[in-house]
Structure 1
Amino acid sequence: MEEILLFILFALTTGSFMYMLVCTDSNSKSPMGMIRRKIYSNGPSILKQLLGNKIYIKLQQFYNYVFYTNNRLGQIAYFLIFWMAFGLYSKFGLLKHFGNTPYVSHVHSICGSLIFLFCNYFFYKTCTTSPGIINKENNNEYVMQYQQYYDEIQYKQNTQCSTCNIIKPARSKHCRICNVCVSRFDHHCIWVRQCIGQNNYKYFLLFLFSHIFLSLYGVVAGILCLFGIAQKQQLFKLTYKNAITGEIHKATFLRVFSVISNRETFFMFIIFVCLIFFVTLTAFFLYHLNMIRKDLTTNERIRKNDFEKSFLNEMYELQELEKRKKDDDLIKRLAQLKICWKSLNNRRLLGLFEGLRIIFSQPK
């Protein structure tokens, strides 16, 4: 049984890491960005050698199906993981120890269950609330709403979406998975099977926050339960005999932890799973808060990095050419690039509270 638990823990940890890796910008200078570039550049050739071409093609097809088609696998996986985790926590913790230890009463059973229901409610709202689909009827409204964001670099006026046959408002994007143009497009989320955009971004944030809060609640309540069990069984007052030397020792924290681990293996396992969820989701949530502070979407950050990389490469090449020869067209182009570079990096910070106010004031 311990081998199965370790495998599940490894699968959850690996899955969480891989999901964060998929969500990471490939141009990012962060450690995750560097790892993504290494994996995406060297991974395919290594997999081909290890698995063979046929299996590699099948894996590639499965990867494309999961992340680039509008399927329900993400929603199914969410229910399986989330409900199974809560079910195990209820069986080995909530129903067994809540109310039977000094520090966690039955009140916490009700509180934990209510938070669980809120998590499901915000998941439902994120799945069912339209992200802000742009069509011919509301096209002009969205164009006017984001008029100030046309910078003629990332967003150019009167650019037409060739698929929807409409003028693209600034900050919008045509999602090839959903096959619609979305206002203030952030990203397509496989867990909710639709895009995250102007109208459902607030529910997405609440979805993340509620799951973070439930995970943290589970970790803290679980640790208090274990501490209460140790006190109830007077494990800190016991003495332990060294099997080799015969010496008698007082109970240490590590010794008590070892005893509790053997007696409450399943409960400790699920507490650790909650901790993994908490760390992963918190990192993702903080990333989105930082984007809100900067008045950026995930899509804009990736595009901005792509533009900056392109401008830097071209500016470097032109500066090297300028050292060797003087040319009016070359100097003019270099000046244009420097203006574009300055425009990209002079965008004002909106501020976290102002950004959240705008997001949560969007119509239902």
Structure 2
Amino acid sequence: MVTLGSRVWCRVEKTCRHLPIVLNTVLVFSITAEVSYLVVVEAPLEPELKKSDWSSTWKSIHLFAQYFMLVNITWNALLFLKTNPSIRGVFLGGDMVGQGWRYCYTCETHTPPRCSHCYDCNVCVLRRDHHCVFFGQCVGFRNYRYFLSCLFFMWAGLLYAVVMNAEVFIVILKEGVTFHSFMLLLVPWIMLVTGQVTAQAFAFAFIADTCVIGFLLVSAFLFFHVGLMVRGQTTREWYSSRRPYSLGILANIRECLGECWFLCWICPLIPSVLPGDGIHFKVTGSLEPVR
């Protein structure tokens, strides 16, 4: 018999599992709204430029770039969640079992090289890289392209937001910096609790700080995964210092992004067929960890 406590715990666990996705969505759209406000209302242009036709053109270009990045982030994220990287629906039996294959006692099947079991998804994932907490799904063979593209446009969008906030902040500095404005950017929560600033000023300061911190974190994550891609590694192989499947820089990129690797990152609608099947991999080095 299921107790009330168990049912409550299951409900809380399911809610918390989707919490990172909700927070990510709120932050992305909050940053977009804040930057849109900065472009439309607080655009850091010289007074003579604000009165010219260039002002409208400048705002249109910035808004187009911003929403182009937002659409790409959203679309890639949806395709990432929709694309199943697991072994479900994949035939793994027959005479294919060979070097590098293992038996998963949880899934009760033989699994190919670079495939491992995810206890969060409760299934084995082809060319598993890691379980992404922010999306609640594993990064694997079929959805790695969408993961990298989403990461790239998040990085570009945060960089854009940081630049826009910096330009506005420079304009404020020209008018004179005060201890109040400095503390607002440094500790916005304390300024709000003590009643030193309005809720609107706190919201802009908090989002500006979030953009900077988010940009630094996403930059580290993006550059790490780009490094893995060009070396032909997964995160697990990086931990064990192995590079047995590296085919060269261009071939490694093609393995992750597909045949149209040079163009597909611009838009998720551009087709780019992956050269492999996620089961067979050409071994070019030692399968043993480097000591």
Do the structures match in fold with TM over 0.5?
yes
Aligned to 2:234: 297
Q: Which of the two has greater helix per residue?
A: 1
- For 2:209 and 2:32, the matched residues in 1 are separated by 13
Q: Give CA-to-partner distance per residue, 1:148-186, whole Å, 9 cap, x none.
A: xx4xxxx3x4x3222222211000011122122111001
- Does residue 77 of structure 2 align to residue 134 of structure 1? no
Aligned to 2:27: 81
Deviation of the 1:206 alpha carbon: 0.5
2:17 alignment partner, SS class? coil
Q: Give CA-to-partner distance per residue, 1:22-59, whole Å, 9 cap, x none.
A: xxxxxxxxxxxxxxxxxxxxxxxxxxxxxxxxxxxxxx
Q: Is the 8 A contact 1:186 1:196 kept in 2?
A: yes
- Counterpart AA for 2:39: L
- Does residue 11 of structure 2 align to residue 114 of structure 1? no
Indicate which of 139, 143, 146 corresponds to 1:200. Answer: 143
- Counterpart AA for 1:113: Y
- For 2:136 and 2:29, the matched residues in 1 are separated by 18
Aligned to 2:115: 172
2:77 alignment partner, SS class? helix
Pair 217,76 (structure 1): closer, same or farther in 2 beyond 3 Å? same
- Counterpart AA for 2:29: W
Indicate which of 86, 89, 95 corresponds to 2:40. Answer: 95
Percent of pairs with identical residues:
24
2:117 alignment partner, SS class? strand
Which structure 1 residue ranges, 5 or more long, are not aligned?
Answer: 1-60, 236-255, 306-343
Which structure 2 residue ranges, 5 or more long, are not aligned?
Answer: 1-8, 186-200, 259-271, 275-291
Root-mean-square deviation over aligned CA pairs = 3.6
- Counterpart AA for 1:80: V
1:106 alignment partner, SS class? helix
Pair 87,208 (structure 1): closer, same or farther in 2 beyond 3 Å? same
- Does residue 252 of structure 2 align to residue 358 of structure 1? no
Q: Greater Rg, structure 1 or structure 2?
A: 1
- For 1:198 and 1:278, the matched residues in 2 are separated by 26
Aligned to 1:333: none
Q: Is the 8 A contact 2:44 2:171 kept in 1?
A: no
Q: Is the 8 A contact 2:35 2:164 kept in 1?
A: no
- For 1:257 and 1:141, the matched residues in 2 are separated by 72
Deviation of the 1:79 alpha carbon: 1.5
- For 1:143 and 1:284, the matched residues in 2 are separated by 35
1:170 alignment partner, SS class? coil
- For 2:177 and 2:82, the matched residues in 1 are separated by 45
- For 2:94 and 2:145, the matched residues in 1 are separated by 21
Deviation of the 1:134 alpha carbon: 1.4
- For 2:13 and 2:218, the matched residues in 1 are separated by 24
Deviation of the 1:347 alpha carbon: 4.0
Deviation of the 1:106 alpha carbon: 0.8
Q: Is the 8 A contact 2:233 2:245 kept in 1?
A: no
TM-score (norm 1): 0.53
Q: Give CA-to-partner distance per residue, 1:208-247, whole Å, 9 cap, x none.
A: 100000011111233234445667xxx4xxxxxxxxxxxx
Q: Is the 8 A contact 2:73 2:150 kept in 1?
A: yes
- Counterpart AA for 2:120: I
Aligned to 1:313: none
Pair 358,260 (structure 1): closer, same or farther in 2 beyond 3 Å? farther
Q: Is the 8 A contact 2:24 2:134 kept in 1?
A: yes
Divergent runs of 4+, >6 A: none
